[in-house]
Amino acid sequence: MVDQILLLYGIQPGDFTTELFGDGLINHTWKVKTATDAYILQRVNDHIFQAPFVIDQNLRKLQVYLNEQHPGYTFVGPLPALTGDTLLQTDLGYFRLFPYVVGSHAINTVTDIDEAFEAAKQFGQFSRLLNDFDVDQLGITLPDFHNLSLRYQQFLQACENASGARKAAAADAIAFIFDNRAIVTVFEEILEHKKIPLRVIHHDTKISNVLFDEQNKGICVIDLDTVMPGYFISDLGDMMRTYLSAANEEETDFEKVAVRPEFVKAIYDGYLSEMGDVLTATEKNYFMYAGKFIIFMQAIRFLTDYLQNDSYYGCKYENHNLNRALNQITLLVKLQEIESDFKILLS
């Protein structure tokens, strides 16, 4: 299969080696090496991303803009095939080829505050450089991806339709979601009153979507399929969700789920080092809310899936999605506990 696709880029069979690359859960990815160059070949998961050409058009527009306005920025965009196309639709699926950034590496888990700072800085830089880009030019690649109101409505419907056994097992988690409905209300007020502007937002700011150099300094952000119009709370909140605890969302010993306050400050400092002069005063006031917004939404999504008999995320053991939801609820509680001390933390 790989041979057939690479031929479309002028790379002949026998002139390259391939190996599976990364641990992404959505797209299939290979590293391709020739005698002189290295590439990343990717098959787009069109079950998740149902409009691959919208992604391709977004990337082309962003690349043209950044090449013209910020030519020094490393934008890892898809390379043209022999036809000139940067996304190939074949009988084997949708494919694209990226240049491999020599001397770069990615990490899967944030282990120190320097990594958190560098990652936050990179995501902040990405949005800052695109601050003057017309966000209306971008298509929506995942409709309602971070629509908390919709996620809450799906949760309510799941509560109505769930079995008695599942509702009983999840009673405490369900009660927590109801008790924290105010997080949804804030989101709805933001949208209704247009309190903060739409921006070019990455929407998937886990640490593995940042490339680092040999000195562990950030180079750029990657995995741009989710780049679309959005609000800064999505990027900032996802960093908080995935960087603040040493334990990830799969941890079932909830005593290990804890917010590291120094990582809150590292994210704040890194992101604001780039976006400090771009964000409005109102946006800055939503810094802590950003973390609550994303963590709460992910808790809802896991809990909804549990109530719907694990139809979306699937599960590896009984109550897997319920445990994921309880994990995120624990993280949210820990974040809420330090919220009142936030001004002191940043002083």
- List pLDDT tens digits, range 204-229: 999 999 999 999 999 999 999 999 99
pLDDT value of position 341? 79
- List pLDDT tens digits, range 84-112: 999 999 999 999 999 999 999 999 999 99
- List pLDDT tens digits, range 169-183: 999 999 999 999 999
**CA-to-CA dists, residue 221 to 122, 134, 206, 208, angstroms:** 6, 20, 10, 9
pLDDT value of position 163? 96
pLDDT value of position 340? 83
pLDDT value of position 50? 87
- Residue 161: pLDDT above 70? yes
Q: Rounded mean pLDDT of 291-296?
A: 98
Q: Rounded mean pLDDT of 182-211?
A: 97
High-pLDDT (> 90) share of the chain, %: 88
- Domain 2-99: state its class: alpha beta
pLDDT value of position 343? 61
Q: What does the mean pLDDT of the chain come to?
A: 94
- Residue 25: pLDDT above 80? no
| DSSP of 71-137 | TTS---PPBP-TTS-SSEEETTEEEEEEE--TT-B--SS--SHHHHHHHHHHHHHHHHHTTTS-GGG
Q: Rounded mean pLDDT of 264-273?
A: 96
- Residue 198: pLDDT above 70? yes
- List pLDDT tens digits, range 332-347: 999 999 988 776 555 5
Could you tell me the CATH superfamily of domain 113-345? Aminoglycoside phosphotransferase (APH), C-terminal lobe (3.90.1200.10)
Split at pLDDT 50, 70, 90, the class of 16 is confident
Secondary structure (3-state) at 186: helix
Split at pLDDT 50, 70, 90, the class of 47 is confident
> Given the structure tokens 């009660």, which residue do they identify?
175
pLDDT value of position 13? 85
- Domain(s) labelled CATH 3.30.200.20 in the chain stretch across 2-99
One-letter identity of residue 161: N
- Domain(s) labelled CATH 3.90.1200.10 in the chain stretch across 113-345
Q: How many CA atoms lie within 13 A of 65 on its CB side?
A: 19
pLDDT value of position 2? 86
High-pLDDT (> 70) share of the chain, %: 97
